[in-house]
Every structure is written in C-alpha cells, then in structure tokens.
C-alpha cells in the first residue's frame, strides 16, 4: 500500500472511531488481520471451496445459542452476471 493511501485509510479510520466515540457506540478495533484471527474470541471453521479449502471466521451465534449457518464459498464468477446487472441498474437509476 502506498504511503499516501495508507495515510488516507488511517485518517478515515480515525474519523470513524471519533464518530463512534461521540455517539457512545460500542465497537472494537484490531490493528491487523493477524490480530483479528488470533483474538481469543475468534473461532475459525473449515470453509469448503470449489478450488481449494481454507478456514474462515465462524459465524455469529444467534439468540437461541445456535450458530448461524454458513453458505459455501461461491465459485469464481458465480455471481458476476447478477452483480453486474444490479450495479448497472443502480447506475442507470441514479446517474452521477
């Protein structure tokens, strides 16, 4: 990441944290993806994928104590046509 982009991102994060503080909203921060995955409250589950397998962050627990079911990782391009159609429609309905 370039230093300019890094500064922009850090500035935006600082503004977001300040806004959350002003509203007394509860939030949490981590400094890196590694810190997030190493957090004691984080749980990872196997994530099947058409081309390879990995581990992903476990879903939240619902109010009844049951985990929210996960869906399979989409195949590359699986949702491309639907996404392009949706964003094309939005652009046509709300031109800049």
Q: 76-94: per-residue pLDDT in tens?
A: 899 999 999 998 887 777 7
Tokens of 93: 């309905």
At residue 32, the pLDDT reads 76
94 shares a domain with 47: yes
- Tell me the C-alpha to C-alpha distance, in Å, between residue 84 and each of 73, 74, 77, 92, 95: 19, 16, 11, 12, 16
Q: How many domains does the chain have?
A: 2
Please give the residue that has the higher pLDDT: either 18 or 48: 18
Residues 26-70 have pLDDT tens digits of 887 766 777 777 777 777 777 777 777 777 777 666 667 676 677
Q: Which of 42, 43, 52, 44 is nearest to 73 (CA)?
A: 52
Q: Give the pLDDT confidence score for residue 80 in this predicted structure.
A: 94
0.75 exceeded by pTM: no
Q: Is residue 36 part of a domain?
A: no
* 1 and 26, same domain (yes or no): yes
Q: What are phi and psi of 47, to 5 degrees?
A: -120, 105
Residues 20 and 59 both lie in one domain: no
């Amino acid at each position: 990441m370039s230093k300019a982009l890094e500064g922009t991102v850090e500035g935006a994060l600082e503004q977001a944290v300040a806004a959350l503080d002003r509203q007394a909203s509860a939030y949490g921060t981590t400094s890196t993806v590694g810190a997030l995955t190493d957090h004691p409250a984080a749980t990872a589950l196997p994530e099947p994928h058409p081309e390879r397998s990995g581990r992903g962050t476990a879903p939240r627990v619902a109010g009844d104590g049951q985990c929210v079911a996960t869906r399979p990782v989409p195949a590359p391009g699986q949702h491309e046509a639907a996404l392009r159609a949706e964003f094309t429609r939005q652009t046509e309905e709300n031109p800049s």
